[in-house]
Amino acid sequence: MTAITQRRRDSLRRYFSGLALEETLSGFLFATPFVVGFSVFIAYPMIYSIVLVFQNWDLLTPPVFVGLNNITKVFRDPVANLSLYNTAFYTFLAVPVQLGISFLLAMALNQPIKGRSFYRAGFYMPMIVPVVASAVVWQRVFHPEFGLMNEVIGWFGMEPRKWLWDPALAKPAFIFMSFWMIGRQMVIFIAGLQNIPQSLVEAASIDGAGRLHQLRHIIIPLMTPIIFYNMVMAIIASFQIFAPAMLMTNGGPQNATLFAVLNIYRNAFEYYNMGYASALAWELFVIVVGFTVTQFYVSRRWVYYETG
Could you tell me if 160 and 150 are in contact, meaning their C-beta atoms sit under 8 angstroms apart?
Answer: yes
Taking the mean position of all CA atoms in its chain, how far away is CA 29?
33
* Smaller CB separation from another protein, 96 or 154: 154
Give min distance, CB of 132 to another protein, in A. Answer: 4
* Smaller CB separation from another protein, 93 or 101: 101
| CA atoms of 250 and 244, how far apart (whole Å) | 8
Give min distance, CB of 93 to another protein, in A. Answer: 19
List C-alpha distances in Å: 209 to 192, 212, 244.
21, 8, 45
List C-alpha distances in Å: 191 to 96, 127, 211.
20, 18, 20
Q: Half-sphere exposure (CA, 13 Å, Cβ side) for 135?
A: 13
Give min distance, CB of 302 to another protein, in A. Answer: 18
Could you tell me if 284 and 264 are in contact, meaning their C-beta atoms sit under 8 angstroms apart?
Answer: yes
Give min distance, CB of 81 to another protein, in A. Answer: 15
| CA atoms of 31 and 264, how far apart (whole Å) | 33
* Smaller CB separation from another protein, 65 or 285: 285
Give min distance, CB of 2 to another protein, in A. Answer: 21
* Smaller CB separation from another protein, 71 or 237: 237
Nearest Cα neighbor of 73 from 297, 278, 265, 239 is 278
Give min distance, CB of 3 to another protein, in A. Answer: 21
| CA atoms of 168 and 254, how far apart (whole Å) | 10
Give min distance, CB of 48 to another protein, in A. Answer: 4
Could you tell me if 220 and 206 are in contact, meaning their C-beta atoms sit under 8 angstroms apart?
Answer: no
The per-residue DSSP string of 218-239 comes to IIHHHHHHHHHHHHHHHHHHHH
Give min distance, CB of 124 to another protein, in A. Answer: 7
Question: What long-range pairs does 97-101 form, CB within 8 A, spacing at least 24?
Answer: 97/175, 97/179, 98/178, 98/179, 98/181, 98/182, 98/185, 98/234, 99/185, 99/227, 99/230, 99/231, 99/234, 101/179, 101/182
Could you tell me if 90 and 82 are in contact, meaning their C-beta atoms sit under 8 angstroms apart?
Answer: no
